[in-house]
Structure 1
Amino acid sequence: MTQLAQLEFVKADKLKEKPDPSTLQFGKVFTDYMFEMDYDIEEGGWHNPTIKPFSPLSLSPASFVFHYGQAVFEGLKAYKQADGTIVIFRPEKHIARLNTSNERLCIPKVDEKLALEALVQLIELESDWVPEKEGTSLYIRPFIISVEPYLGVRPSYHYKFMIILSPVGAYYADGQLNPVKIFVEDEFVRAVKGGVGHVKTPGNYAASLLAQEHAQKKGYEQVLWLDGKENKYIEEVGSMNIFFKINGEIYTPKLNGSILSGVTRDSVIELVKDWGVPLHEERIAIEDIFEAHQKGLLEEVFGTGTAAVISPVGELRWEDKVITINNNETGEFAKKLYDTITGIQYGKLEDTFNWVKKVK
Structure 2
Amino acid sequence: MALRHDPTPAPLRIMLMLTGLKVGGAEYQVAALAGAFRALGHAVAIVSLSPGREVEVPADVEVIELAMRKTPLGFARALCRARALVRAWRPDIIHAHMVHANLFARVLTRIVRCPPLVCTAHSFREGGTARMLAYRLTDHWCALTTHVSEAGRAGMIAAGAVPAARMVVMPNGIDIERFRHDVARRAATRASFGLDDATPLLLHVGRLVPEKAQHLLIDAFARLDNARAQLLMAGGGPLAEALANQIATLGLDDRVQLLGPRQDIPALLDAADAFALSSDIEGSPLVLAEALASGCPVVSTDAPGAREIIGNTAEGGMIVPRGDAEALAAAISATLRAGRGDAHAQAMRRDHVRATSALDTVAQRWLACYRALRASPRDARLEAA
| TM-score bracket for this pair, using the shorter chain length | 0.3 to 0.5
TM-score w.r.t. structure 1 length?
A: 0.33
Q: Which has the higher strand share?
A: 1
Q: Which has the higher helix share?
A: 2
Q: Which has the higher contact order (CA 8 A, sep 6+)?
A: 1
TM-score, normalised relative to structure 2: 0.32
